[in-house]
Structure 1
Amino acid sequence: MGLMEVVEAYTGLSPMAFFTILALMVGVYKLVSSMFVDPEQDSKPHLRQQQQQEAQAREAMASMATAPVPDPVQLGEVTEEQLRGYDGSDPQKPLLMAIKGHVYDVSRSRMFYGPGGPYSLFAGRDASRALALMSFDSKDLTGNLEGLSSSELEVLQDWEYKFMEKYAKVGQLVSGKTNTGDSSAQETRVENQESEREAKAGSLDLNNKTAAEAVSEGT
């Protein structure tokens, strides 16, 4: 006899009914078994991993909080390229960022502006536009305020007040191209002035020589 015939002969049930009941019994068995399993036993590995991660995070925050922060150093005028070297990638350098061209030392808040911090994108940059727009888009990491609304400018002003109260201003952003242009223009002005003085001196010598010759001929 085939399997189906054996099932029907020994159980008195049709094969479909038998296998349906069997499947239900297996499902009930698994459900009841799971009720007697210690839920903590199944979640212990995950809990241990989570606890380790939390402990590591607490240790990192504690080390940041207790690490001595050096006194701010006045840098004077810095270019945008120079400012990018103070983004926190070099732990020996202070952590700087700029608002409206004013450079602030934010080293005391390294957990926020340092590498891995929620505002690390702003470090080493003039983040004026990004702060005004509350944007984390890299294209907004600029000091260009064109097109901002009055309310957005007010938001930026609030940020600036907070930075003025909390952090030390250590420098001012300048344009490297502008400085080079001014220097070249100044050199050109100096050269022109020297040329004018030489021309005047030559003209004076010529006039004196002409006058002397005229006196000599008269005598």
Structure 2
Amino acid sequence: MGVVAMWEMLKEAIVAYTGLSPATFFTILALALAFYYAISGFFEPPPPPPRIVEREVLPPPVEVGEITEEELKAYDGTDPKKPLLMAIKGQIYDVSQGRGFYGPGGPYALFAGKDASRALAKMSFEEKDLNGDMSGLGPFELEALNDWEFRFMGKYAKVGTIKKTVAATDGPAEDSSQTEDAAVKDEGGPSKNPDEYAHPKEVAVEEVAKE
């Protein structure tokens, strides 16, 4: 059965069941659909308002001044009341806004509360590299460390420095001249007393004068 034959059968059915011409029938059908969509639009619920994501407001960075590496460990993020700090090349930065990276559970949490210069230069997560010792680093590692430093300088606030510790000595250094004098006396050598260097003739003259 061709398309033309099907169309003729449809027109005959419309006239037989509705008593309307095909043109009138389709016009009424189009108007009914338009009216339906117009009315249904009034009863649709309004779209939900856009969701506003509230970001955590962080307190301003607090200067910690010059502290030791041991004191820096207290700012590793385990205490939520303290800022999250990290050091590079002896300079301490407040990385609280990057808590998702450097806070507990973050991919770089091992670096928090430490001077991680060596670890960043070597891209190492080993415990032995979590310190500020830069000795023995190659040129490429130093360049990588400088890149990290520039990134931190542009993103995080500097709040302090690492205090350099100096190994204490047992006591004040002994005067070398005193040590030499003591050694000479112990060996029975000449003393620095000028009277002990007097010529024998001068000694004899002094004894005669006394008599």
Question: Which bracket does the TM-score occupy, shorter chain normalised?
Answer: 0.5 to 0.7
For residues 84 and 55 of structure 2, the distance between their equivalents in structure 1, rounded to whole angstroms, comes to 17
Q: Does 1:174 align with 2:163?
A: yes
Matching of residue 147 in structure 1 with residue 136 in structure 2:
yes
Q: Whole-Å Cα distance in 1 between the matches of residues 162 and 106 of structure 2? A: 24
Return the match for 2:96 from 101, 107, 120. 107
Counterpart in 2 of 1:97? 86
Q: 1:156 aligns with which of 139, 145, 148?
A: 145
| Greater share of helix | 1
TM-score by length of 1: 0.51
2:108 to 119, 124, 143: 119
What's 1:128 paired with?
117
| Greater Rg by CA | 2
Q: Distance in 2 between matches of 1:151 and 1:69?
A: 36
Cα drift, residue 67 of structure 1: 1.7
CA distance in 2, matches of 1:119, 1:74: 23
In the TM superposition, residue 181 of structure 1 has moved relative to its aligned partner by 4.9
What is residue 5 of structure 1 aligned with on the other side? none
Please say if 1:78 is aligned against 2:67: yes
The TM-score with structure 2 as length reference comes to: 0.53
**Structure 1 vs Structure 2 CA RMSD:** 2.0
Q: Secondary structure at the match of 1:66?
A: coil
Shift of 1:146: 1.0
Q: CA–CA distance in 1 between the matches of 2:86 and 2:168? A: 26
Identity over aligned pairs, percent: 60
Gaps in structure 1 of 5+ consecutive residues: 1-61, 186-219
| Equivalent residue letter for 2:90 | G
| Aligned residues between the structures | 119
Question: Secondary structure of the equivalent of 1:172?
Answer: strand
Aligned AA for 1:100? K
Structure 1 partner of 2:190: none
Listed one character per residue, the Cα deviations across residues 140-170 of structure 1 (whole Å, up to 9, x for unaligned) are 0011011110010000000000000000000
Paired letter, 1:156:
L
Task: Give the Cα–Cα distance (whole angstroms) in 1 for the partners of residues 110 and 57 of structure 2.
Answer: 23
